[in-house]
Amino acid sequence: MGLPSWGTEPRTPEDIAAFQLPPAGYDPYMFRIEPGPLRDRRPAELFHLEPYAPTGMRLGGFVIFPEAEISGLATNNVFKGPVRRGDGALQPPRRHRLVSPALEFRAAGGASLFAGNPGEDDRAYGLEARGHLDITARTNNRGARVAST
């Protein structure tokens, strides 16, 4: 007579998956800049999705996420001119993120260190700061500042 059966689940599996944590196909924590407290369950829950996600190092009220990698460059025209001259370079880029509940700082630096032509070495950096200030429960301000070479 149209009465619901309280012993069975009326939703489809797709509807159930849409309200799971994290929802199917979407990571709600991906764009958060706030690290959780040490007893937060998210690292254990998200380990199955991304087992190699960095945990960071606590630095006072901030958490720092350092990155380092090494790459190389081989070129047959280091001077970009009509006379070709080959050379190889080491490129050690570095990135750091410093995160707190309201602020995030990012720094990135890179260099090309040529073996035979040190005058063609190249260096670059980028700095970025983001933050938000909650004024009331319904109002907040966000801002960002970027500098690079």
Does the pTM surpass 0.85? The reply is no
| Inter-residue contact 94 to 110 (CB < 8 Å) | yes
Domain layout of the chain by residue ranges:
13-53, 56-149
Q: Digits of tens for pLDDT over the chain (149 positions)?
A: 566 666 677 778 877 776 666 555 666 565 555 555 555 555 566 666 666 667 788 888 888 888 888 889 898 988 888 989 899 998 888 888 888 888 889 998 888 899 988 888 888 889 998 887 777 767 767 777 777 77
Q: Which residue, among 66, 68, 121, 53, has the nearest Cα to 90 in the 3D structure?
A: 121
Q: Which residue, among 70, 146, 74, has the nearest Cα to 111 in the 3D structure?
A: 70
The dihedrals phi and psi of 49, each to the nearest 5 degrees, come to: -80, -45
From residue 108, alpha-carbon distances to 65, 80, 91, 122 in Å are: 12, 26, 13, 14
Q: What is the pLDDT of residue 73?
A: 87
Q: What is the pLDDT of residue 147?
A: 77
Residues 51, 54, 60, 61: what is their CA dihedral angle, to the nearest 10 degrees?
-80
